[in-house]
């Protein structure tokens, strides 16, 4: 199975060296051909399974349960500015 390793890397936001690309292409190829076996089955009249547990309709009531953990979380954030998380500049528009 052919795939575009560069595209997958770009979508996952990771940078790969040439030798890593080669190795990953081989690994992913193996995984895909393993999974490919499934396509030999006739699934014509079988509805897709999204979940394997026979449970449905699990809800919670609309009740507020404030946690107030933000100080703890911000303390562990790579960067903060006051009570905000700070991230590299995201520019929209041109």
Residue 67 to residues 5, 22, 47: CA-CA distances in angstroms? 41, 46, 40
Sole window of 21-29, 30-38, 72-80 interacting with another protein (rule: CB under 8 A)? 72-80
Q: What distance in Å separates the CA atoms of residue 9 and residue 6, rounded to the nearest whole number?
A: 5
Number of residues that bind another protein (CB under 8 A): 40
Sole window of 19-27, 35-43, 51-59 interacting with another protein (rule: CB under 8 A)? 51-59
Sole window of 16-24, 27-35, 36-44, 49-57 interacting with another protein (rule: CB under 8 A)? 49-57
Nearer to another protein, 12 or 19 (CB): 12
Residues in contact with 70: Cβ distance below 8 Å, sequence separation at least 6, in sequence order: 83
Neighbours of 25 (CB within 10 A): 17
- Contact residue for another protein among 11, 18, 38, 46 (CB under 8 A): 11
Neighbours of 40 (CB within 10 A): 6
19 interacts with another protein by CB under 8 A: no
């Amino acid at each position: 199975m052919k795939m575009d390793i560069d595209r997958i890397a770009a979508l996952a936001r990771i940078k790969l060296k040439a030798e890593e690309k080669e190795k990953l292409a081989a690994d992913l190829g193996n995984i895909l051909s393993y999974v490919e076996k499934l396509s030999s089955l006739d699934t014509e009249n079988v509805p897709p399974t999204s979940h394997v547990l026979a449970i449905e309709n699990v809800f919670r009531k609309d009740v507020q349960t404030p946690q107030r953990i933000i100080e703890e979380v911000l303390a562990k954030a790579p960067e903060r500015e006051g009570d905000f998380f700070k991230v590299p500049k995201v520019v929209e528009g041109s």
